[in-house]
Structure 1
């Protein structure tokens, strides 16, 4: 006999403004407890020391997580010059030092090499898998790894402040899989002065804004209340990048049963991924072909 899931079948998104000093997994656990939800997950990990947007999906909204993790993200961060660390941030051990400090003009010139389509090697302490193990687990044993470079689209990377000679602040908009710590490490290397991330904040991720996020203090204060549930965003927010296709009544029934469903109208191109709705409620996500949506995921709302 199947074991019944604990909690309520509640679906939607809650945007958390994550503070420093807590893991993304712990935040998800707090949200799940506060709402009494059966299922929860997040759309993109933030390092424990990082702050900002952590979008938590609940229930059926977890099926839309891939469409948010693929979206662009905006980060503000500070790079400290003069030292490299084993984690590429201020949490790690210093492994090399330099007395060199770059000028603003040198920084501006170096940034050109970090814009557009670049190749980026993840930090040694990252969630990248190496022969089935997480890189950070291997790194903790002291073993160095040759991690493969990965493509990254950097749409924007600008110098925003220069508090003093030892540091500089930046804003970056990038695609999926970007590591700010790698940017800091590689920028320091390119400038010949070494560098690591001093602090990092994710301002937005896809449709989610840090300014609209709930704090952990608010989460604790509103736990188990209707007021907290009222802060939930609808499931379809996670499908913001896809076309919405309205279904016929018959099409909605067919789609709910996992079969292609007829759509009433479409601006989607043949073969395009889209999501379908009936009477304003999301029914599923799939591929549009021949006047029908062929489902990959169906929502049980």
Structure 2
């Protein structure tokens, strides 16, 4: 049951790459970032009702605003913008850099002790990302260097969130915490994206685009998040880390199978190096694992917003 749930979570996240790619061809990235954030915030706020106070002190408000900026606003926008200019497979591999960025930032800020094994994993993943970036401009199928760099920026933003969140989120209800972060993130996104959302011709979108939008919010965000909470409360972190590495494989299988792009040797080399590096680093550094809070029966870990 746990294995099936882990596969389901990664599949839900993987399909989100295809959904975002489809939506980005019809909707302005700024407008979609606002709409998705608004819809997800509403659903999460409803889920958080009746769960008791979060226990947030006024002195923590600025820190939580920064967490929302990194973990929701920048993370989501750079992911959407990047996928408008690259392929799902490239985005899937680039997002695997999250634990690598997390390890590097944690070492730089003194949150984690560096190890040879960790840095070997960083170098392997760096080689995989380099292969990805070098293949981008000539890969065809819509992959560009700029798009890959935007998704890598998304990964760096979320890594910063993971490092900072360890001091503020542990011990708090996960659903209420995520709801608050989503609402604060919506406030940040609104500052830049509300005009684009107002200009967007929402009534002119086709039925298939609306279907992808619905999936991205209900399936790829809320559904994947809730299922992941259930999994994280029951599965060892090491097992979760292994299954996270399956995500780019599922993305590539779906993307190639549905004709979004073609398989290539450069993509396979990049994926192999990056996954190997992630597994080496995550086995050597607990801080590089997928979420900042240890799972518990009722307070599970927040998960990456699949932007």
Higher strand share: 1
Higher relative contact order (CA 8 A, sep 6+): 2
Instruction: Identify the TM-score tier after normalising by the shorter chain.
Output: under 0.3
* TM-score for both structures, normalised by structure 2: 0.21
